[in-house]
Amino acid sequence: MCKPAQSLHDPNPQSSESFPVLLMDYGEGRASVKRRSFGRLHWHADLQFILVSMGSLELDCSGAHTALADGQGALLNAGVPHRIAPSVGCAYTCLLFPAKMLGFFPGSEMSSRCVEPYVGTVGEPCRILDGSEAWHQEALRELWKATSLLRSGDGPLQRYCACAAIAAAWGTYVANIDLPFRNPALALAEERMRAFASFIDEHYAEHVSLADIAAAASVSKAECGRVFRCVLQTTPYAYLTEVRISHATELLREGQLSVADVASETGSGGASHFSNAFRKATGMSPRAYVKQFANPLHGTPPTASLPPDQVATH
């Protein structure tokens, strides 16, 4: 059995409110709602719709790497590890909401027949809405309607109609797919990936070996590598390095630590090794990064992107 993996579970801050729908806009390199998981592998207890309004983004989800362009979207199921890498100039919107909202009231026939069979480990991990099927546009129109309503005000009528639009989009989804059955092997891989990702997020600043990562899910080193290839199409060490670089960019933007101190704080080795890894991931040196992005008005920091062929040796 996997150890509990909660550190990268990204809760919906609206979940305890009377209106549990979270609307988050991303643009110009920043999100309208601050999220600690932004740009990193994470998962939600809720369902999530992603809607791209400008540019493009790359979505890693359930073993697939997909590019979404302007006007396209995706549905992410509850508990599915995923990460979003927007391109420069990309703008997108996320709608995060609990599945129970779609059933209208507890114990309803709508919930038992049109929601529960499609949510969580029994449902499909992700559905791309790219226009390849006619119903995609119908669902996307309802979702854009919901976002427009939520931006127009926070009155009860706008919120009610937004929930109705989200439910209509969900109904379109359910009406046009076969009852999904999650591949048990994929569900197990995702469970283990959550354990690995949580362990790395908690210990990235330390010396971390492949055996340490594998132990987080009580599996062999070989199985650990297989899960990373299956879910993220990368290696454990490449992912560990990516997490370290991600945290390093945050520290560099704060502008309070030297490059050597940032390398030490993120477990990235000496300043020279860190600088080489940082340049490979972002296309610029740490000092150049500080000069350009330490001031938040200076633009959008580049997204770290690491090749998947690095071997887990640390």
Reading the block at residue 87, the tokens are 């391109």
Non-local CB neighbours of 154 within 8 Å, separated by 6+ positions: none
- Between 157 and 311, residue with greater pLDDT: 157
For the chain, the average pLDDT equals 86
Q: What is the dihedral of CA 201, 62, 193, 233, to 10 degrees?
A: -80
Instruction: Evaluate if pTM is beyond 0.95.
Output: no
pLDDT at 161 over 60: yes
What are the tens digits of pLDDT across the range 65-110? Answer: 899 999 999 999 998 999 898 998 999 999 999 999 999 998 999 9
Three-class secondary structure of residue 63 per DSSP: coil
Question: What is the rounded CA–CA span in Å between residue 135 and residue 169?
Answer: 10
Task: Give the pLDDT mean for 176-202.
Answer: 87
Three-class secondary structure of residue 95 per DSSP: strand
Task: Give the pLDDT mean for 233-260.
Answer: 90
Question: What is the rounded CA–CA span in Å between residue 176 and residue 237?
Answer: 40
Determine the angle formed by the axes of helices 221-232 and 184-203, rounding to 10 degrees: 100
Question: What is the rounded CA–CA span in Å between residue 32 and residue 16?
Answer: 20
Question: What is the rounded CA–CA span in Å between residue 248 and residue 263?
Answer: 7
pLDDT at position 15 is 66
* Beta bridge partners of residue 96, listed in sequence order: 22, 48
Question: What is the rounded CA–CA span in Å between residue 126 and residue 64?
Answer: 9
Which has the minimum average pLDDT: 26-40, 138-152, 257-271? 26-40
Task: Give the pLDDT mean for 239-264.
Answer: 90
pLDDT at 38 over 70: no
Distances (CA, A) of 238 to 193, 229, 294, 309: 14, 11, 26, 8
Task: Give the pLDDT mean for 16-38.
Answer: 79
